[in-house]
Structure 1
């Protein structure tokens, strides 16, 4: 009977349970960490590309305006817009491999700085906000205005409000 019961195993019983629980928890956490990491990476990647697409659209719009105005290529705003578009073109379109030495956060900061420099040159407030004004437009699009003779005239497209502007109700971005 003395051989079947080992008192030494009772001394380390708590440590044995601790180690077993740690190993099982670590394996479980590894699986859930991968799942959550992929979901977070997808969400943050989408936010990053959404911001880059805004900057690219902004730069393309101003480049087309500059071309229509036939402004010189030495103009500061034209130079900033061109450099902004060049930097966005350098941004990797796929996940970089381990051999790729592109510093994505540094490039992203440079793109933001170039966007702000372009906005400063143009006298435009640098912002990345959008508000859904389609609801206002839908509410007033059907309203007709009658002139003094009772004949319908042009429709009001947007309401003119004398009160303070409403807070942005749509999706807001910040950088």
Structure 2
């Protein structure tokens, strides 16, 4: 009786070899895929994080530059501009750079982008209002310079 059971085990190994190889291949593939996926995820995360950091940094640089350029007047127009800039700077400073698992990261980023667009609209109005005055100043400066040069170096 021992002989039939050993022959049964031999055939069982042959018949089940495909299932065994399939299971081993699956385990090897899963381990390799997990390793490759983690490496790809890390690379993608670093790239996306660098882009977000660059974007936020440019917004902060823009806001700080305009904060220093705007006159420190207390009139309503400039105070609205300053409040918008201060709000943008505050939002950027509160942004969670070190916590990529922060639940509202994308929401906060969208709010910063929206505030930046609002500040840009305010700045465009400011530039449009002041560009006329600047053009008049530049034209008068050029004509004064031309007159001064013509007096210093008369035509022969």
TM-score by length of 2: 0.67
Q: How does 1:143-154 map to 2 (within 5 A)?
A: none
Partner of 1:123: 124
Distance 1:83-1:73 versus aligned 2 partners, 3 A rule:
farther
When residues 50 and 22 of structure 1 are mapped into structure 2, their CA distance, relative to the original with a 3 A threshold, is: same
Task: Say if 1:91 and 1:107, in contact at 8 Å, map to a contact too.
Answer: yes
Task: Indicate if the aligned counterparts of 1:88 and 1:111 stay in contact, CA closer than 8 A.
Answer: yes
Q: Which structure would you say has the larger Rg?
A: 2
Distance 2:86 2:75 in 1: 9
Alignment partners' CA distance in 1, 2:87 and 2:49: 23
* Unmatched segments (≥5 aa) in structure 2: 126-156
User: Which whole-Å deviations, capped at 9, do the CAs of 1:128-149 have from their partners, x for residues lacking one?
Assistant: xxxxxxxxxxxxxxxxxxxxxx
Considering fraction of residues, name the structure with more helix: 2
Residue 73 of structure 1 and its aligned partner are, at CA, apart by: 7.1
Where structure 1 has 5 or more consecutive residues not aligned to the other structure, the ranges are 125-175
Q: Which of residues 19, 29, 34 in structure 2 aligns to 1:30?
A: 34
Distance 2:73 2:10 in 1: 91
**45-54 or 4-13, larger mean C-alpha shift:** 4-13
- How far residue 33 of structure 1 moved from its aligned partner, in angstroms, is 1.6
Deviation of the 1:55 alpha carbon: 0.2
How many angstroms apart in 2 are the aligned matches of 1:73 and 1:33?
A: 56
CA RMSD of aligned residues (A): 2.2
Q: Tell me which residue corresponds to 2:74.
A: 72
Distance 2:64 2:83 in 1: 12
